[in-house]
Amino acid sequence: MDTLHIDPAIIEKAKRWTTEVFDPETRSAVQAMLNNPGEELVDAFYQDLEFGTGGMRGIMGPGTNRMNRYTIGMSTQGLANYLKMNFPGKSLKVAIAYDCRNNSPEFARICANVLTGNGMEVLLFESLRPTPELSFAIMHYGCTSGIMITASHNPKEYNGFKVYWNDGAQLVPPHDVKVVEHARSIRSVEEVIWEGDAARVRILGHETDKAYIDMVCSLGLVSRAMMEQYGDMPVVYSPLHGTGTRIAPEALRAFGFKNIYTVASQSVPDGNFPTVVSPNPEEGEALTLAIALAEEKGADLVLATDPDSDRVGIAIRDNSGKFRLMNGNQTAVIILYYLLEQWKSNGKLNGKQYLVKTIVTTYLIDKIAEYYGVECFNVLTGFKYIAEVIRDLEGVKQYIAGGEESYGLMIGDQVRDKDAISACCIIAEAAIWARSRSMTLYQMLQSVHAKFGLFQEHLISITKKGKSGADEIKAMMERFRNQPPDKLAGAAVAEVRDFRTGIITSIATGASRPTGLASSNVLQLQLSDGSLITMRPSGTEPKIKFYFSVNGTWNQQTESYEDAVARLKDYIKQIIKDLNI
């Protein structure tokens, strides 16, 4: 690729980054790209970073499509302008936290400088802290907004900027769009107030940790006697070099667990994540060292959290004693079933309680909720939409918990984002509850499948990097949207759910009805047997994701659990083959 093939607007945008308003290192790096124009230049400048389901997230480096001090500063200035417009004449207070990633402390300080330079009070955590603790702090201290510097489970070259509203939840429409509009209205970095006011910064430390852990402990449902009897159950935990390194073990011990073993080599915060290929607990490789430690210690439960401690991956022993990784759907099923069973046995269900899950998360949860007389809401991907339901129903119905297939759980409403710290504690509590009934967590999952139906889910993520990749993803979505298949694995496509248009269409009759949700670039195909295929470009990564959910009955007298699961997995394989992806 040469200059002749690059959009002149990209060249002009890059040239502005070689002027004196940028630091020498940035100017030099951009000039090097201009001297040898190619994909690197295009990817760095062809667009501005946008807010997706998890905020603004991107590769670190110079450019408008990169995470750097300038894109962070302009976004923060945009937020400041929007806050001042929304709360005229009011004292504004913003909490800021950051994770272990490279440049995270610097980015957090830039945010603090810009906000205090705009006359706001900043509550800045003294060192790295989990995303859920930031969400908690926003409500605990009555903040107007919050910022979390993190790229969650993305690879090491990424960082991100999550913005929260005064209810501790990430931005939803119209606030997300408006903040972006205000940031984009800033045409020059010279419009950013870079000089901060240290007198307006309050440092948060141990006292906030204690308040947060106390809240987590309040979520416990087993009796003190049961915890005393089974609390010595060994638990292995890994923070994967992230923010959970101190606070997760502290929370587990405060909860009543006595034997917590942490993976020492992964307990050192490090943005390069040296012991894993990816700091993502969805990836089995990330739990390798933790499982090895569990074998050494004789533990039956392994927990691992991602860098900002909002997602949790678990491994449990199967009936043969071998460790099995649970996917996000299985973990959500185990925990939400456990919570409902406990709420029922404790006499806390009165018909006003509810769960919330995303449309790509297993519909086995809907069946379980129906059995317990608990309403289950389905929302678009992102915990900000779960938090939106809580906000809408505050004082009307009682929220129990919510979850999504991508390893996220939000238990109770005192944190308004997914919370792997509280999830670790409740998962461990569910394990001792199962022990008290002579079951393992794996056997609990089997009992749920026997009672409510066998569900099997699978996820495929296809990465397409850069501008050309974004174009490929767009074309792929349009192909399935305009020409959906007639059949998949022998089952007819019965219904097409287009969440971009907000219309659900019956293939047999042509009848349509609204989705009832906000517009989102998501497409679902429901088969005649109830199987569901969902297609969704990621809002935070250069990926398109395909979610598969199939279900059937399991007769314990005629078929083993493993054979029944294998049967459904084979069905998913045939669907994937027929989709030709």
For the segment(s) 211-448, the CATH number from 3.40.190.170, 3.40.50.720, 3.30.565.10, 3.40.120.10 is 3.40.120.10
Angle (CA) 322 329 261, round 5°: 45
Stretch 544-561: mean pLDDT: 93
Known catalytic residues?
152
Encode pLDDT of 77-135 as tens digits. 999 999 999 999 999 999 999 999 999 999 999 999 999 999 999 999 999 999 999 99
Contact in structure between 266 and 289 (CB atoms under 8 Å): yes
CATH topology of domain 47-204: Alpha-D-Glucose-1,6-Bisphosphate; Chain A, domain 3 (3.40.120)
Average pLDDT score over the chain: 95
Stretch 201-215: mean pLDDT: 98
Question: Is the per-residue pLDDT at 3 higher than 60?
Answer: no
Domain ranges (residues) in the chain: 47-204, 211-448, 454-579
Tokens of 64: 């408008």
Check for a shared fold between 47-204 and 211-448.
yes
End-to-end CA distance of the chain: 28
- At residue 14, φ and ψ (nearest 5 deg) are -65, -40
Return the pLDDT at 470: 86
Q: Assign 186 a pLDDT band (cuts: 50, 70, 90).
A: confident
Question: Is the per-residue pLDDT at 1 higher than 50?
Answer: no
SS (H, E, C) 310-361: CCEEEEEECCCCCEEEECHHHHHHHHHHHHHHHHHHCCCCCCCEEEEEECCC
User: Could you tell me the CA-to-CA distances from 198 to 123, 202, 393, 552 in Å, in that order?
Assistant: 11, 9, 39, 61
Encode pLDDT of 292-338 as tens digits. 999 999 999 999 999 999 999 999 999 999 999 999 999 999 999 99
Encode pLDDT of 237-279 as tens digits. 999 999 999 999 999 999 999 999 999 999 999 999 999 999 9
Return the pLDDT at 540: 64
Return the pLDDT at 432: 98
Return the pLDDT at 33: 96
Return the pLDDT at 19: 95
Provide the β-strand partners of residue 58: 159
Stretch 220-234: mean pLDDT: 97
Domain formed by 454-579, architecture = 2-Layer Sandwich (3.30)
Return the pLDDT at 504: 98
Provide the β-strand partners of residue 523: 498, 535
* Helix (H), strand (E) at residue 193: none
Return the pLDDT at 177: 82
Question: Is the per-residue pLDDT at 53 higher than 70?
Answer: no
Encode pLDDT of 147-174 as tens digits. 999 999 889 999 999 999 999 999 988 8
Provide the β-strand partners of residue 548: 458, 533
